[in-house]
Amino acid sequence: MKFFVDTADIAEIEDLAASGLVDGVTTNPSLIAKAGKPIRDVIAAICATVEGPVSAEVTAIDFDGMMEEGQALAGIAPNVAVKVPLTWDGLKACRALTQRGHKVNVTLCFSANQALLAAKAGATFVSPFIGRLDDIGYDGMELIRQIRAIYDNYEALDTEILAASIRTPFHVTEAALAGADVATIPPAVLKNLAKNPLTDKNLDGFLADWKKTGQSIL
């Protein structure tokens, strides 16, 4: 499973990318707003830090506007994946941008039929939003399972399932079990994946025993 980091904070991205465990980045208009800098500068800085796909989202909602913005975003760096919303115009833009050789992430996916359409439109990634479905009392993970089952029925559908709106380490485990190709994870959640109180407790025990020996490895 690939790990993308879900943030537009360049300092956080640099910190996490140094681990070698980050395969890409996703941003959205809210995350760019939070970064407080011009979108082109933010995306260029992220693309220079991470080799993998960096999702940058259009804000136009009509086909022509999405095409114009999408091509401008794709021109920032070769690893930009243009993010378009899962609307009819967004699907048309996905098809057209894909045909022009751009990577496209179709976002705001909340149903299996929407994911089927995104794949037919040639999306590189489809982003089902787990947390936002859970928020309204639906089972976000069930959507990942349905999309996985549908895509696996048709060899021609090669869109990657990018589990988005991940809020907890449990979401990551469940998305991996459900066969999501990618999880995009907020920095704090990504760091929490490594944490376990038993690891800390037992490490303390080993180090206490080691100290008693008076030895040094070097």
Active site residues: 83
According to CB under 6 A, which one of 79, 114, 159, 184 is a site residue for ligand E4P? 184
CA distances from 218 to 111, 149, 203, 215 (A): 57, 53, 19, 9
Q: Does position 28 bind ligand E4P by CB under 6 A?
A: yes
Residue nearest to ligand E4P (CB): 165
Look up residue 132 and give its amino acid: R
Decide whether 127 or 159 has the Cβ nearer to ligand E4P: 127
Look up residue 179 and give its amino acid: G
Q: Does position 124 bind ligand E4P by CB under 6 A?
A: no
With tokens 């639906």, the residue in question is: 138
Decide whether 63 or 110 has the Cβ nearer to ligand E4P: 110
CA separation for the pair 66, 84 (Å, rounded): 7
Report the residue count for the chain. Answer: 218
Contact 57, 46 (CB under 8 A): no
| Least distance in angstroms from the C-beta of 130 to ligand E4P | 8
Applying CB under 6 A, the span of 68-76, 110-118, 124-132, 193-201 interacting with ligand E4P comes to 124-132
CA separation for the pair 63, 156 (Å, rounded): 25
Residues 2-21 that bind ligand E4P (CB under 6 A): 6
According to CB under 6 A, which one of 7, 79, 107, 159 is a site residue for ligand E4P? 107
Task: Find the largest Cα–Cα distance for the chain.
Answer: 71
Contact residues: ligand E4P, CB under 6 A: 6, 26, 28, 107, 127, 129, 131-132, 164-165, 167, 184
